[in-house]
Amino acid sequence: MRRAARTIVRVTTPVARRGLDVDAVRDHFPSLGRTVDGEPVAFLDGPAGTQLPRECISAMTDYLHRSNANHGGAFDASRETDALIADARWAMADLIGAHEPAEIAFGPNMTTITFAVSRAIGRDLQPGDELLLTRMEHDANLAPWLAVAQERDLRVRWLEVRREDATLDLDALDEVLSERTRLVAIGLASNAVGTINDVGRVIEAAHAQRAMVFVDAVHAAPHLPIDVANMQADLLVCSPYKFYAPHLGVLYGRREHLERLRPYRVRPAGPALPGAWETGTQSHEALAGLLGTIDYLASLGRAYGSTAATDGRRDALRAALSAIHAYERQLVRPLLDGLLGLRGVNVHGVTDPARDDERVPTVAFRVDGVHPDRVAEHLASRAVNVWSGDMYAPELMRALGLDDSGGVVRAGLVHYNTRGEIDRLLDGLAALLGG
């Protein structure tokens, strides 16, 4: 019998002053004014990268106008960059619940960071040690570990996916964990089908075997409050460009792990945290944009959550993500119901309304007899942006039996999307089916 879900991400929406005002939210995003042949574009492509708020764009341009310099110098512009980097670490620590900014490191993207972390961990692994991976993962949380396994002669074990609802078979967790397990890599939410994984249960079981857990929170970060201390994650990564910020990657690591592990680095970088984990000069203008985005999110928490204007940024950010989560739950249900009501459309993932807390508003579907690329092209002609293909989740597509037929169509909602945009997607599919 399937054990009841016990997801570590316990979302408690604060008592809101009022529901999220999507028109006011959209006013912060200039790109949402884009049109195609006079039709406003429906950006339902959030999982591949979200649009940027005005606060982010202004922060980037202000930095480039006033303070563009490398860090570590004796002059004013360089010192301003030093302060910017320190502020960005604090801001990310507040967003994800880290204890201190020294636990936050930046990089160009999550994939590059994960390859670097996997190489550092791999230095200490021995032939016969085991890695536990899941079939749910984006390949950025598989390929680095598979490469290390091949290089170090490690054994790879897998958590499989239930085809009927695209969830992990966690009942088999005890069978695939062992005293030889050294690391578990798992995503908090699937970028392809939207499933929220019970990471808490996995972390508890892995720690009982003295194994580390590496959490991919890229797809969860735009949708859920994350508290790494409560989660007890050892290492966690996310991508700010998926939550309304520029192209960056972020690594959180518990201090004990960041100090113990030996990353590959240039010699002058030294062992000091967190710089030891940052290879080369960072994108300082992107860090400025990240700060602008976090200011925007904090303002949402103060406007729509129970957070007072005098409360700290960490509380405001948690309130913002709780308000976003509540709005998105209301938004995704009409999309799911509409898709399920179209003859010839099949949804892959959790669809039961009683289980809405097991998914984020990312929906994967197929149209009978129509290749996913053709569906995406048809919707694009109607100014509705979605994605098609394997979503860089080849193991999941194989598990769902979709790897040889083009993968899926993916519609990904975020907090600036509207019910009207969902109706346009459904109308476009109805027109395709009618044709």
pLDDT, tens digit, 9 for 90 and up, residues 245-283: 999 999 999 999 999 999 998 888 778 888 899 988 999
Looking at 4-13, 295-304, 394-403, 423-432, which range is the least confident one?
A: 4-13
Contact 102, 248 (CB under 8 A): no
Class of residue 114 by CB neighbours under 10 A (exposed 0-12, middle 13-18, buried 19+): buried
Q: How high is the pLDDT of residue 272?
A: 83
Q: How far is CA 92 from CA 48, 97, 182, 210, 279, in A?
A: 21, 8, 28, 28, 19
Contact 388, 409 (CB under 8 A): yes
pLDDT of 2 > 60? The answer is no
What domains does the chain contain, in order, with CATH numbers? Answer: 22-51+326-434 (3.90.1150.10), 57-292 (3.40.640.10)
Contact 118, 124 (CB under 8 A): no
Residue 161: strand pairing partners: 168
Q: How confident is the model at residue 388 (pLDDT cuts 50, 70, 90)?
A: very high
Tell me: the pLDDT tens digits for 281-293?
999 999 999 999 9
What 3-state class would DSSP assign to 61?
A: helix
CA atoms within 13 A on the CB side of 61: 7
Q: How confident is the model at residue 329 (pLDDT cuts 50, 70, 90)?
A: very high
Tell me: the pLDDT tens digits for 29-60?
999 999 999 999 999 999 999 999 999 999 99
Q: How high is the pLDDT of residue 19?
A: 84
Mean pLDDT of the chain: 94
- The CA distance from 255 to 288, in Å, is 25
Q: How high is the pLDDT of residue 10?
A: 43
CA atoms within 13 A on the CB side of 346: 16
Say which residue, 36 or 18, is predicted with more confidence. 36
Give the residue from 184, 196, 265 showing the smallest Cα distance to 226.
196
Q: How confident is the model at residue 18 (pLDDT cuts 50, 70, 90)?
A: low
CA atoms within 13 A on the CB side of 161: 30
Tell me: the pLDDT tens digits for 183-225?
999 999 999 999 999 999 999 999 999 999 999 999 999 999 9
Q: How high is the pLDDT of residue 3?
A: 39
User: For residue 61, what are the contacts with CB-CB under 8 A and spacing of at least 6?
Assistant: none
pLDDT of 5 > 60? The answer is no
Residue 152: strand pairing partners: none
- The CA distance from 397 to 383, in Å, is 27
Q: How high is the pLDDT of residue 310?
A: 58
Contact 130, 173 (CB under 8 A): no
As a whole-number percent, the residues of the chain with pLDDT over 70 amount to 94
User: For residue 117, what are the contacts with CB-CB under 8 A and spacing of at least 6?
Assistant: 144, 214, 235, 237, 251, 261, 263
Tell me: the pLDDT tens digits for 132-189?
999 999 999 999 999 999 999 999 999 999 999 999 999 999 999 999 999 999 999 9
pLDDT of 129 > 80? The answer is yes
Q: How confident is the model at residue 308 (pLDDT cuts 50, 70, 90)?
A: low
pTM: 0.94
Q: How confident is the model at residue 305 (pLDDT cuts 50, 70, 90)?
A: confident
What does the pLDDT average to over 335-353?
A: 98
